[in-house]
Every structure is written in structure tokens, then in C-alpha cells.
Amino acid sequence: MDCLAQHCTSYFPSYFSIDDILATNEKLPCKFERTTCDVGYLDPSSGSKDVETGSKLELPCWLARSLASRRQIVSCRLPKTFREKYREILKADAVLVDLHTLSPHFYEFGQHLLPLAGTEASTLGTLMVETLRERLRLIMDNSLNTPEDDAGKRQAKLDQLERSLFLTGRRTFHDHQLWLSRRAHIVTTSHMVTQQNKRKFSEVS
């Protein structure tokens, strides 16, 4: 999260990251600053092959960034999740917010929005850092102390980054317990293989 702490405006994660692909596919409101030819398919309701100046559309983040930064064809607004109303909610008590419902890839998506946020980039960067900082203690506490049956419930309100941290905490704690009991060297069946065998058994049954 160092990139966030410095409010970096050039975020380039792994090209092969599925989370990144899903995050950049989230949409944000855009306004076309000039008539753009042969892209009428972006607005099927218009019935035109072109998009006229002043047209307002919701575009995927990856497309909006390209049109806004390189060619200045569109201007963008922050999605409602990152506007002042929701920023105030997160500032009031970030721990209670259902971040997964608000934005499943909150932090990843937010970092891609920084170059489009203009004067709000600093505020947005600070918001994401403070939100994760406030929620992190509870996430890690839950990851270490939640029974297996309740693990899914504990993850329900977490965005994808937070879920990754939660699961990493659980795996690390489990590995540490094995090491303390001197059972870390024992070879066991992977979780993925176990699940696959269960599916095969259910199909046979």
C-alpha cells in the first residue's frame, strides 16, 4: 500500500491479475468533450454511429482512462462509491461498512481512479489508506480466531484485498501451529485436491 500512501497516480499491477481485470471493468460516469466517430455502439439507445459532444455514458475504467488521459476525449467523475457522501460514511466508522457491497475491488479500483480524480486524488488516496488501516486490526483478529464454520460469514463484508489478507492470516496461523506441534514436515493432501475428490464422489453417488 506504499503506492497509496504516496498518492501515486501511475498504478500498474500485474498484467495477469484477475482482480485487476475485474477492478478495471467497473464503470464510472463520463462526459464526451467532443464528437467521436464510429463508437455509437457504446450508447445503443442513441441509434447513431457516432457519440455526440456532451453525451454522458458510464464506461469501464480501463476505457475511460484511455480516452481521458491520452486523447482527452472524455472527462470523468468519480463513481458514487468514492464521492463525498460515502467518504464521510467511511471516515465515521470504516469498520462497520459492508465494503464488498459498496465495491468488491474497492482498493484496486480506487488506485486506478487516482489519475482521473484531479484535485480529489490526494483525498481519495488518503481515504483508502485510512480505511484499510482502521479495518486491518479486526480483519487480522478475525482471521486468527474465527472457527472454520464462521469463516465465510467473517469475509462477507470484505473487499477482495481484505479477503486475501484474511485468508493469508489463517494460513499463516495454521502453518505456525503445525510448526509448534512439530507436524510441519508431514505431507498432506492439498485443499484443492480434497475438494475435487469430494465433487467426484458426489457425482458418483
| 84 assigned to some structural domain | yes
| 138 assigned to some structural domain | yes
| 39 assigned to some structural domain | no
| 188 assigned to some structural domain | no
What does the alpha-carbon distance between residue 28 and residue 59 come to, in Å, rounded to a whole number?
6
pLDDT in tens, 42-72: 988 888 899 999 999 999 999 999 999 877 8
Give the model's confidence band at 202: pLDDT under 50 very low, under 70 low, under 90 confident, else very high: low
| 109 assigned to some structural domain | yes
- Structural domain range at position 15: 2-26+79-142
Q: Which amino acid, one-letter code, is at 14?
A: S
| 52 assigned to some structural domain | no
| 121 assigned to some structural domain | yes
Helix, strand, coil percentages for the chain (3-state, nearest 5): 60, 10, 30
Report how far apart the first and last C-alpha atoms of the chain are (Å, whole number): 48
Percentage, residues of the chain above pLDDT 70: 82
| 33 assigned to some structural domain | no
DSSP structure class, residue 16:
T
pLDDT in tens, 73-93: 999 999 999 999 999 999 999
Range in 43-47, 105-109, 155-159 the model is least confident about: 43-47
Q: Which residues contact 5 (CB under 8 A, 6 or more apart)?
A: 125, 129
Q: Which amino acid, one-letter code, is at 10?
A: S
Q: What is the domain count for the chain?
A: 1
Q: Residue 179: what pLDDT? A: 83
